[in-house]
Copies of this chain bind each other. A is one copy, B any other.
Amino acid sequence: MSTAVESAVTELRGMIVNGELPISERITESSAGNLLGISRTPARSALSQLESEGLLIKLEGRGYKIRPFSFADLEKATEVRSVLEGIAAGRLASMGPSEEATVAIEKSIAMTEAIISRDAVTKREIAVYQEANEIYHSAIVDTCGNDFVGQSLERIANIPIIAPGAFTEVEGMAQAEMLRMTVGHSQHVIIWDAIRSRDPVRAESMMREHAGAPIRYAKLFIGDGYQRKLMTTGIVNREDVPKT
């Protein structure tokens, strides 16, 4: 929250992904500036940054609009994320994990194990799971020895649901959540085993499967409910949601 530009980016990004800004509405330098109480100069930087992140689309001469994501877009972004995280896991298996990575990953696994061994889960447990998931994935990406992987991931990491931490809860789907967490945990264990065993091929392919899981299993285990949930956040185009 130091500079106006940084906080503007954070602020606007939050408003966009939470659907607090009407998708239809145009955003200009002035309107964004007024909204956040800053002048046009930092507002312009913030908008152009969000455009390069892919969250805004520039309407030449008429401001920006929020980029509408279709469900297909989310799947495509996930595909890229899976592949990138896959090479991160593969690299880590080749190199051997650092002490730092080992500590973080084993901590994450301990956290998720504690959660799935319970009978029922509350919102609180889901939040902890998300945190653990975030730790697991960033430990692998950050210590894989190839900065370009993390750099490329940053671009698509801001798209909701795609990010590792965004293990979005679906209302009234506690059982389905539990199932997803159990599956996720088991995959974490398997991938970590592959890494420790220095098996890059297995680590890569398992991570590739796993990183694509949130969106794939959303369809597989939950079905339309997930898409409908996404729609309400304004992230997904109405048109993409199956008619009921």
Chain A interface residues toward B at CB < 8 A: 41, 45, 48-49, 52, 54, 73, 76-77, 79-80, 83-84, 86-87, 145-149, 151-152, 155-156
Cβ–Cβ contact A80 & B76, under 8 A: no
- Which residue of B49, B79, B147 contacts A87 across the interface (Cβ within 8 Å)? B79
- Which residue of B73, B86, B156 contacts A152 across the interface (Cβ within 8 Å)? B156
**Given the known A-B contacts A45-B48, A52-B52, are A80 and B156 also in contact in the complex, defined by CB atoms under 8 Å?**
no
Q: Which 4 A-B pairs have the closest CB atoms?
A: A76-B146, A80-B148, A152-B152, A77-B148
Count identical subunits in the complex: 2
**Cα(A147)–Cα(B48), bound, Å:** 19
**Cα(A120)–Cα(B148), bound, Å:** 38
**Which of chain B's residues has its CB closest to A76's CB?**
B146
Q: Could you list some 19 contacts between A and B, CB below 8 A?
A: A41-B41, A45-B48, A76-B145, A76-B146, A76-B148, A77-B148, A79-B146, A79-B148, A80-B84, A80-B87, A80-B146, A80-B148, A83-B83, A83-B87, A84-B152, A148-B156, A151-B155, A152-B152, A152-B156
Q: Which residues of B contact A45 (CB under 8 A)?
A: 45, 48
Q: Which residues of B contact A145 (CB under 8 A)?
A: 76
